[in-house]
Structure 1
Amino acid sequence: MSDFDYDLFVIGGGSGGVRAARVAAGDAGAKVALAEDDRYGGTCVIRGCVPKKLMVFASEYAGVVEDAASYGWDLKNGPFDWVSFQSRLNKELDRLEQVYRDLLKGSGVETFDARARVSGTHEVTLSTGETKSAKHILIATGGQPVRPDMPNAHLGIVSDDIFHMETLPKSLLIVGGGYIACEFAGIMNGLGVEVTQYYRGAQILRGFDEEARGLVAESMRERGIDLRVGTNIVEMAPASEDHTASWTGTASDAAMGADVQQRQEMQAEVDGPQGPVWVKSTTGQERVFDMVLFATGRDPNTKDMGLEEVGVKLGRRGQIEVDAYSQTAVPSIYAIGDVTDRVNLTPVAIREGMAFVETVFKGNPTSVDHELIPSAIFTQPEMGTVGLSEEDAREQEPVEIYCTSFRPMQTAFAGRPDRVLMKLVVSKETRKVLGCHIVAPHAGEMIQLAGVAIKMGATKEDFDRTVAVHPTMSEEIVTMRNPMRTA
């Protein structure tokens, strides 16, 4: 008989944790428990990938109605019904959460709807007061959005909140330039909201291929998003207050400023984060927005979990440090997914969970290959990417760049200015395709298949030997014969 209550205790009911728990229980026959203090399904299913993608679909219909006239259809464009859409969205999320619960139950995993804290190298304590022991503990608690450290930041919302809005704002300021900020800019703009976006850097989507992100930024502006780079918030306050004394520095009495600040915070508690917000930018402009959305980063969920007390090492941002097999500095404790801040993608967390089970319960040490992972950004148009950007590849070795940008048939016929981009980064020496970048409608669907070829080590000549599918946008990937530039 085991000396522990369980062979495995999983903390976190997201995609990675649930997959590891049910495979360990169902395939490996382990006695498994899982604790989740929020909704099952985690960030991706409940407040990330799934609801966001459904919102992307919803936001694109306005353009469909407009384009239809060019194709002979007389469709009527009415106002977007947020309440109706949100109701259907919530029903779908409820259904998916139940699927996750049923999968765990069907695999024999015992579940606790409670917060779990690590209280020993083989022990967790639940918020219910129960203490459970386990031979192995797996941390899969994901991450959470963060607000900037500035006065009145509580007046803004974060990405988790956007799915719970009772009504759509008329005007929205999005602060940030990463993929979450840019995706929601496109979504809200498509739903009829007046969107302004501030990003402190020189160009949005830092870290992605420069040419590709430049086209995304251009397209966002063409669609009506007021994108302002080199811009950030310096001050914000409830719009109902007189800001002159507290924000412009004209008050003669510091106590008066403190009193105004206190009244602002009290008013914010009454209004809630969706009340009108006065904002002053680094460029000196002042404006009132119905809502401010902070999309300024995410931090791993490791706060107050007792990890460092038992010897688990955390990085600068709170991420759990693990080896290639997801093992922490404490041999009995492992971690997967966003909480490790390796590659923060749901399919990666799932693979890490599967590799953990292979390693720990099936005696087959397995690590996850984090190289050449395809990914998509659901901006409008989408961006799909796999491998090295042109800039990173140039620093590594001599390369050839094959690139084309053009107006796709469907939208060109409708008279829209939209452009797409197809790009291959190729090693001069080995001829291998080091990176592929696509900016186009359905780029996510295209990059998945390109990712297979690139992961297999396909060369530019392999692409050239592939017959094009005509007429499609993706055919350009195999018809680019001459490099646009070399480096």
Structure 2
Amino acid sequence: MSDYDYDLFVIGGGSGGVRAARVAAGEAGAKVALAEESRYGGTCVIRGCVPKKLMVFASGYGDMPAEARAYGWDIADGSFDWTKFSGKLNQELDRLEQVYRNLLSGSGVEMFDCRARLKDAHTVVLDDGTEKTAKNVLIATGGRPVRPEMENAGLGIVSDDIFHLPELPKSILIIGGGYIACEFACILQGLGVKVTQYYRGAQILRGFDDEARGLIAESMRERGIDLHTGTNIVEMRRALPEDYEDDDGHMATAPVEARQIGRREDDTDGQGPVWVKATNGRTGIFDQVLFATGRRPNSADMGLEDLGIELGRNGQIAVDEFSATSVPSIHAIGDVTDRVNLTPVAIREGMAYVETVFKNNPTPVDHDLIPSAVFTQPEMGTVGLSEEAAREQEPVDIFCTSFRPMQSAFAGQSARVLMKLVVSKETDKVLGCHIVAPNAGEMIQLAGIAIKMGATKADFDRTVAVHPTMSEEIVTMRNPVRSA
């Protein structure tokens, strides 16, 4: 009989923790428990990927009537009902959370709906003071969005709050230029919100291919998003009556282009519009301010420092290639390690952990050539090196094309797409693929297989195109547009 209550205790019920728990129990025969202080499914299912993608779908229908009319359909413009959508969204999230619970219970995992922290290398303490022992502990507590350290930052919301708004704002200021900021800018604009976005950097989507992110920025502006780079906020507070010039809600202190919304007659409880001043001197009033300025691992107040577990500057748990911490019985996976913060990566890390610890098959986590997508409008799909990163590594040829796709061109729309390959001069291997187009996420998944296998440009050239499609351009680019 084991000296411990469990073979494995998982702290965190997100995608990575749930996968590790149920595979360890169901396939490896381990006795497993899991503690989750919030909702099962974690950031991805409850506060991230899933509800966000459903909002992406919803926001895309706004353009459909105009495009349909160009194709001969007699369709009138409609209006978006946030209450109807959000009610159905919450029903879907409830359903998915129950799926996660069923997967765990069906695998024999014991669940504790509470917060857990570590007492020592083999002891977990639950909220009610109950102590549970385990031979192995896996930390999969994920991360959370954070607000900047500035006065009145609490007046702004973060990405977790978007899904719980009682009503859509008429206007919103989004602070940040990463994928979360840009995705919500496109989503909310598509739902009829007047969107302004400030980013302190020179260009949005830092770290992605310059050409691809440049096209997305241009497309966002064309769609009506008031995007300002090289800009941050220096002051924010509740809007005051003297901030308004007249009954139309025009501001006395702001340039005309910064005027956003009128005073709300129901603003009697201290809630309501927020006045903001930017580094460029621009001022404005917004129904909401969304901070999309970063995330932080959920590692605080877990007893980690007392055990000598190393934490990084942002609070991330330091682990090796097998997700092991400096304490042999304790491992960590997912966003709490701040390696590659993507749901499928956390799941892979959880699977590799079970292989290593419970199946006697040491399996390092492979973080190389991970495809990903940014669900802006249009989407961006990417895998491998950007042109900028590749040319720092070796001489490369760049194959690139940008064009108006057939569907939108016929409807008289100006939207453009981009297909790009970054190719090694020496080996002809495709080092990176970048697509900006509708459904780019679907395309990059398949391109990622070829690039992960080490495909060369000659392999792409030998592939017969599927015509007429947007994606055929990825195999018909014969001559490089430049070398770097």
TM category (shorter chain) comes to over 0.9
Match of 1:164, SS? Answer: coil
- The answer on whether the counterparts of 1:125 and 1:131 sit within 8 Å (CA) in structure 2 is yes
Give the match for residue 29 of structure 1. 29
Match of 1:316, SS? Answer: coil
In 1, distance between residues paired with 2:46 and 2:338?
20
Deviation at 1:240, TM superposition (A): 3.0
- TM-score, normalised with respect to structure 2: 0.94
Give the match for residue 190 of structure 1. 190
Residue 451 (1) aligns with residue 448 (2): yes
Give the match for residue 433 of structure 2. 436
Residue 314 (1) aligns with residue 311 (2): yes
Equivalent runs, 1:12-23 vs 2, <5 Å: 12-23=12-23
Deviates more, 1:323-332 or 1:69-78: 69-78
* Identity %, equivalent residues: 77
In 1, distance between residues paired with 2:119 and 2:183?
39
User: Residue by residue, what CA displacement relative to the aligned partner does 1:254-303 show, whole Å, maximum 9, x if unpaired?
Assistant: xxxxxxxxxxxxxx99545xx21000000111111000000001010001
In 2, distance between residues paired with 1:232 and 1:436?
32
In 2, distance between residues paired with 1:205 and 1:168?
25
- TM-score, normalised with respect to structure 1: 0.94
User: Residue by residue, what CA displacement relative to the aligned partner does 1:183-204 show, whole Å, maximum 9, x if unpaired?
Assistant: 0000000000000000000000
In 1, distance between residues paired with 2:242 and 2:112?
49
Deviation at 1:242, TM superposition (A): 5.9
Equivalent runs, 1:256-275 vs 2, <5 Å: 270-272=269-271, 275=272
In 2, distance between residues paired with 1:66 and 1:193?
18
Deviation at 1:415, TM superposition (A): 0.6
Give the match for residue 352 of structure 1. 349
Q: Which amino acid aligns with 2:377?
A: Q
In 1, distance between residues paired with 2:241 and 2:233?
18
Match of 1:482, SS? Answer: coil
Residue 483 (1) aligns with residue 452 (2): no
Residue 325 (1) aligns with residue 307 (2): no
In 2, distance between residues paired with 1:213 and 1:191?
22
Equivalent runs, 1:146-157 vs 2, <5 Å: 146-157=146-157
Equivalent runs, 1:337-348 vs 2, <5 Å: 337-348=334-345
Q: Kindly tell me: are residues 269 and 236 of structure 1, through their superposed partners in 2, closer, same or farther at Cα, counting changes over 3 Å? A: farther
In 1, distance between residues paired with 2:91 and 2:220?
31
In 1, distance between residues paired with 2:292 and 2:64?
28
Q: Which amino acid aligns with 2:235?
A: E
Q: Which amino acid aligns with 2:133?
A: S
In 1, distance between residues paired with 2:235 and 2:66?
39
Give the match for residue 59 of structure 1. 59
Match of 1:60, SS? Answer: helix
Q: Could you list the runs of 5+ residues in structure 1 that have no partner in the other structure?
A: 245-267
Q: Kindly tell me: are residues 393 and 269 of structure 1, through their superposed partners in 2, closer, same or farther at Cα, counting changes over 3 Å? A: farther
In 1, distance between residues paired with 2:240 and 2:111?
46
In 2, distance between residues paired with 1:110 and 1:314?
29
Equivalent runs, 1:195-344 vs 2, <5 Å: 195-240=195-240, 270-272=269-271, 275-344=272-341
- The answer on whether the counterparts of 1:237 and 1:243 sit within 8 Å (CA) in structure 2 is no
Match of 2:408, SS? Answer: helix
Residue 386 (1) aligns with residue 383 (2): yes
Match of 1:448, SS? Answer: helix
Give the match for residue 72 of structure 1. 72
Aligned length: 462
In 2, distance between residues paired with 1:158 and 1:377?
18
Match of 1:366, SS? Answer: coil
Aligned CA-pair RMSD: 1.2
Give the match for residue 89 of structure 1. 89
In 2, distance between residues paired with 1:316 and 1:241?
42
Match of 2:163, SS? Answer: helix
Deviation at 1:78, TM superposition (A): 1.7
Give the match for residue 106 of structure 1. 106
Match of 1:415, SS? Answer: coil
Give the match for residue 361 of structure 2. 364
